[in-house]
Amino acid sequence: MLSDNNCVGCVLNQVIRVCEYTGVDQDKKDLIFKKALQKAGEIDYKKMSSPEFAEKIYRLFSDISGEKDPYKKLRKEQNDLILNKIDFFREKIRNSPDPLKKAAIYSLMGNIIDYGAVRLFDPDELFQRFDDVLLSIDDYAEFRRRLPGGKKLVIIGDNAGEAVFDRLFIEEIRRFNPAVTIVYGVRSAPAINDMLEEDARYIGLDKVAEVIKTGSTFAGTVISKSTEKFQNIYQSADIVISKGQGNFETLEAEDRDILFMLKVKCDVVARCANLELGSLLFAFNRTLKAEKGKGR
């Protein structure tokens, strides 16, 4: 999906946020924002997705501040937040009537771990409230039906913290289909708080899946801009799972089957998908296309 003018304001707000998070001095902050405004006016944002547009603006921050990976420390904090409770969540999954579904729900709900709000909740309390979460679109039954016949499954990762729940989801997928090959795609360069290869290894994702770089240097995945290796894996996979909103924004127009797992966090995506803001999706793209076709 392509950006609109709301995306411009959102990205500029993200620039202010990263300046405040990293503590750049006021002169640099003013220069970064001035350059960001200028750059935003030069880019035809309506010809690209919001994550692609954001990368061009974020690059200004890195060039001026010298901070190439401003959220590295935060990614570790987010991962540790869930890693420290992993036995708690694993026990809840194992004690569930349907452990695969419980793990899928946790993996989906991990998408709420926002880099600006990570310190505002207790994970024990938060995730206990999601025992009976209602999904806006729920294609779990279809996913469960397809899983036994799948030989290769690809998960395109998203945020830190959330990825620890992805690990638990992968563990349950392997119990359900021990023969499946699982590949976990991560960003090839820092993109907000999205997972990098080093983060994936830190949380043990490499013990349950093959971790590979997709080639993406922004908070989304454009297949034509991905590495040849990832493109081949993506095209040959029996099941592709896309985590998070940035991946949705860059993959929703793809022709092949994709299972999207995300919370709808902005009005632009809500309008695109013909869904309410805050909707929780465990949905194959054909289901989403049917929903979109209904109109409002």
Confidence of residue 119 (pLDDT cuts 50, 70, 90): very low
Q: Give me the pLDDT at residue 287, please.
A: 94
Of 65, 82, 112, the last residue of a domain is 65
Pair (126, 261) in one structural domain = yes
pLDDT of 2 over the 60 cut: yes
pLDDT at 118 over 80: no
Whether residues 103 and 182 share a domain: the answer is yes
Calculate the average pLDDT of the chain: 91
Which residue among 50, 65, 80 closes a domain? Answer: 65
145 and 276, same structural domain?
yes
Same domain, 147 and 283: yes
* Mean local confidence (pLDDT), 260-283: 92
Task: Over range 158-179, report the average pLDDT.
Answer: 96
Identify whether residues 57 and 128 lie together within a single domain. Answer: no
Q: What is the pLDDT of residues 25-53, one digit of tens each?
A: 999 999 999 999 999 999 998 899 999 99
Query: What is the tens place of the pLDDT at every residue in 126-136?
Result: 666 666 688 99
pLDDT digits 0-9 by tens, 189-243: 999 999 999 999 999 999 999 999 999 999 999 999 999 999 999 999 999 999 9
Residues 146 and 233 in one domain: yes
Residues 83 and 49 reside in one and the same domain? no
For residues 183 and 266, membership in a common domain is answered with yes
Tokens describing residue 151: 């030989």
Tell me the percentage of the chain whose pLDDT exceeds 70. Answer: 93
pLDDT at 293: 72
Domain range enclosing 39 = 5-65
Residue 116 pLDDT more than 60?
Answer: no
Domain limit, last residue, from 35, 65, 95 = 65
| pLDDT value of residue 34 | 96
- Shared domain check, 271 and 180: yes
What pLDDT, on a 0 to 100 scale, did the predictor assign at position 23? Answer: 95
Are both 147 and 265 inside the same structural domain? yes
Q: Would the pLDDT of 123 be above 80?
A: no
Q: What is the CATH number of the domain that holds 91?
A: 3.40.50.10880
**pLDDT of 169-196, one tens digit each?**
999 999 999 999 999 999 999 999 999 9
pLDDT above 50 for 117: no
pLDDT score, position 120: 42
Number of domains making up the chain: 2
Per residue in 74-113, pLDDT (tens digit) is: 999 999 999 999 999 999 999 999 999 999 999 998 888 7
**For position 294, what pLDDT does the model report?**
75
Q: Do 141 and 14 belong together in one domain?
A: no
Whether 131 and 191 share a structural domain? yes
